Structure 1
């Protein structure tokens, strides 16, 4: 069960890497509820809808805002999980607050940010404690005074 959750989270995270660009030719044929569902499930910023409106203006097509937002809300149910929150936080990813009503997502995001900070601090400590190389020679770092 846990593997299924991890795989699901990875699929959603990877799918959010895809482009949300909309070809002008798609304006007339797009099912706006399905587009909203896909965007919501991918963690796309809801304001992306404004870009769709702008793209479709050249075709004199007005995207169906109600259908898009309905689908978007349904998609958030898939996206706004604890596991996705952790993954986004670990990447120090942008959080658009779309999941503000999903407590588990926020808890996971906070956990992920903690992991991100711990890893960053660990790398910094490793840099400071690693022997440095000067002109091809290892330079010893003095220890504490005794």
Structure 2
């Protein structure tokens, strides 16, 4: 069985088992070098070998830690690239600090760049979610005003409308930092006249 096929089979097993440290079946299967390479390529810490050895020991099976460590070292080389650094950061994945030597700086620089973009995107999504919520609340207040039957009730609703409108305008100002179409289209200092017009967004 080829190394690539072994690693693929281990990955499938990981998905099926919910990526637990290791199952009894995997302890029995061995493939310690291949498993170490897979874990290294996923950026998992070297200390994982102690958890694997302890888990297998509970099943009465001896784990070949040395073979796992050799595979892990090779897998880490695949993990610690500039491209993968950005990929891991851009998806908000945690970094276990497995890279060493010159590749560590290259990986970390790109990881931090990707992570910064990920955080901006997450903030952008939260702002949009909050904006949708405010729009719905403002719509409900608008509808309630149409059917209000007392001055006191209208005063309360007018106050709520003013508060929601102010919050919505403030949020739109913050959203503008990301441009019209999201984090990839930042246009600081430019406010399209129609984009923030009261006729478009507010009641």
Contact preservation (8 Å) 1:37, 1:72? yes
> Take 1:124 and 1:117, find their aligned partners in 2: how far apart are those partners?
11
| RMSD after superposition | 2.9
Match of residue 109, structure 1, among 90, 96, 111: 111
Gaps in structure 1 of 5+ consecutive residues: 1-14
Query: CA deviation digits over 1:66-111, x for unaligned, max 9?
Result: 2111110100111122222112212222110002432322121011
Aligned residues: 130
Runs of 4+ in 1 over 6 A off after TM superposition: none
Does residue 1:49 correspond to 2:49, yes or no?
A: yes
- Structure 2 residue 136 is matched with structure 1 residue 133: yes
> Partner of 1:98: helix, strand, or coil?
coil
More helix by share: 2
Relative to 1, partners in 2 of residues 1:133 and 1:49: Cα closer, same or farther, differing over 3 Å? Answer: same
TM score, norm. by length of structure 1: 0.70
Q: Where in structure 2 are there 5+ consecutive unaligned residues?
A: 1-10, 143-160, 171-203
Q: Relative contact order (alpha carbons < 8 A, sep ≥ 6): 1 or 2 greater?
A: 1
Q: TM-score, normalised by structure 2?
A: 0.53
Q: Distance in 2 between matches of 1:122 and 1:29?
A: 46
Which has the larger share of strand?
1
Q: 1: distance between equivalents of 2:92 and 2:128? A: 20
Instruction: Mark the CA change 1:62 to 1:117 in structure 2 (over 3 Å): closer, same or farther.
Output: same
Shift of 1:115: 0.1
What secondary structure does 1:74 align onto? Answer: helix
Provide the rounded CA distance (Å) in 1 between the counterparts of 2:70 and 2:87.
25
Structure 1 or 2, whichever has the larger Rg, is 2
State how far apart, in whole Å, the 2-side matches of 1:27 and 1:74 are: 21
